[in-house]
Chains A and B, each alone.
Chain A
């Protein structure tokens, strides 16, 4: 049997508050009651605060811990992680299953995470523009062609890639799939896509193009039943997701 394909709720925290985004810019806040994550297969909690203060970062950790422990769903934590101390805090302190390392990804950090917690605990996030170029920022950040960056991240020890389309983020027009089949063929690890999901059909298309997991944050009403309806919708159409997700 093949591995089940995963539907992932991506929760973006701006200054500790849940936000939706558009082209990576915080757009407006969600109301907490919209978000019940019990029915997602996995949750990704990301800090999207620009240059957070110490207090804001603490608030993020507090929220991340609540989501990871009370959500009863496997959780990855990321956003602004650039050193092992924060990785330990996420996994040991916040009970996360793993971390997402984006702009802070270096050979040393990714390698250390993989050595200490295993590759499965290390997802490297690559933010891709319309031309298929990875956009990074800061010292040591990966930037360059998608396939090259992806190969590099896997060699360093990444156990999963999170590919987010910058242009599609918040558009609800569907995932960017142009580069996905080639990427999936070139790396031996699961690929999670994010950015642009507007309906369950978009997930169907992404799974068909080779994604192992589809993340959605801006799709409205990530509530328990909404996620359940996504599973049912996809299962009814023959996609290998947990059709009986409860």
Chain B
């Protein structure tokens, strides 16, 4: 396991490519200055004009309730477009996520809200957590499929997804076109990681997996649906997105309880870097014992809509050796908001913090006890990455 010299991403991130010790996301961000965003903006305007077919909507924006998809919606509206928001409901909405969602929709958007059968969803979450250590595999399928299905059914041939993860955060880039246009095979393989048709076993029927199925290619082509990435045309910075939404709707961040779990032992002073990352610190005084952060991270604005996300990021740490803090620190380092040194301190302090805040809700959703959950997690622990020292799991190659 090697860590990027420029950010805090290890080479265990699936598909990431390292060159001279630097990951491909850092290389991309370093070269971003030469991108002609003016030209790309014109391309986007032309694309919208070409795809304008629906009487009311210029495009579909898949909308989770979070800062990134909300920022896309607001920025498109600022360009004079009318997007239709399509939401695929979270497995376990957080209060703060639901509140942000409501505020955006109340601020002047049309939104279609899709909710999959939760009996099936719970069964799949449990199965995928046990089998793959990833309780949201079916969510990944639904959140990708539903907006495209709405596009096909309503005849709105343009879907604007937020960012191309493989470009922005490191991974495999098939070709330059893949940075702009969503590639179906890539989505199925990298984001969903499975064909939902495989899931109809153990009492789950083929009818019940329908919400997770991508529409047939023929139908997509007939309507001429093109799915593109906002990030390609307009650039991408998650921290700026969070600030924009703070300004627009008073976007709220997570407030997790301090004082439980692993991180107590690792508490570091809240340095300037963290303060900068904390949206609400200046806005209002903190309640004692609470802090605007998510479990496993040092910030509280990213992936805060679903209670089960905290477990998902913790499992990422178990499987690949990097957690939510490393993920966020890498992004913010690439944007220039943090130095690598600051990021490293944050990773050391918070990476792998147990998802204590919502664990009881999550255990209830998965139908598991805490002991069962920990046993499943250990089955997914990669021994190439981890070793046990004095009864505690430690990384063989911690970041430095």
Interface residue ranges, A against B (CB under 8 Å)? 27-33, 171-172, 198-201, 220-221, 223, 225-226, 229-230, 232-233, 236
Contacts and interface: CB of A to CB of B under 8 A. Distances in A.
Contacts of B193: 220-221
Interface in B266-292: none
B21 to A, nearest CB: 17
B131 A220 contact: no
B132 A221 contact: yes
Given A32-B382, A33-B319, A172-B188, A201 B197 contact: yes
Contact of A172 (B12, B189, B382): B189
Contacts of A236: 201
Interface of B: 12, 14-15, 17, 130-132, 172, 185, 188-189, 193-195, 197-198, 200-202, 319-320, 380, 382, 384
A229 B201 contact: yes
A229 B131 contact: yes
B188 to A, nearest CB: 7
Nearest to B195: A199
B216 to A, nearest CB: 13
A198 B195 contact: yes
Nearest to A228: B131
Contacts, number: 56
Given A223-B131, A225-B132, A233 B201 contact: yes
Nearest to A218: B189
A27 B189 CA distance: 13
Given A232-B201, A233-B201, A226 B132 contact: yes
B382 A229 contact: no
Contacts of A230: 198
A132 to B, nearest CB: 25
Contacts of B202: 232
Contacts of A201: 197-198
Nearest to A197: B195
A232 B198 CA distance: 10
16 contacts: A28-B172, A31-B319, A33-B319, A33-B380, A171-B185, A172-B185, A172-B189, A199-B198, A221-B193, A223-B131, A225-B132, A226-B131, A229-B198, A230-B198, A233-B198, A233-B200
B382 A33 contact: yes
A239 to B, nearest CB: 13
Nearest to B13: A31
Contacts of A29: 15
Interchain residue pairs A-B with the least CB separation, the first 9: A225-B131, A199-B195, A33-B382, A28-B172, A220-B193, A233-B201, A28-B15, A199-B197, A232-B201
Given A223-B132, A226-B132, A232-B202, A27 B188 contact: no
B326 to A, nearest CB: 16
Nearest to A173: B185
Nearest to A236: B201
Contacts of A27: 172
Contacts of A28: 15, 17, 172
| Interface hub of A31, A198, A200 (most chain B Cβ within 10 A) | A31
A236 B206 CA distance: 12
Given A223-B132, A226-B132, A233-B200, A31 B320 contact: yes
Nearest to B130: A225
A221 B12 contact: no
B214 to A, nearest CB: 12
B62 to A, nearest CB: 22
| Interface hub of A220, A226, A233 (most chain B Cβ within 10 A) | A220
B202 to A, nearest CB: 7
A133 B195 CA distance: 30
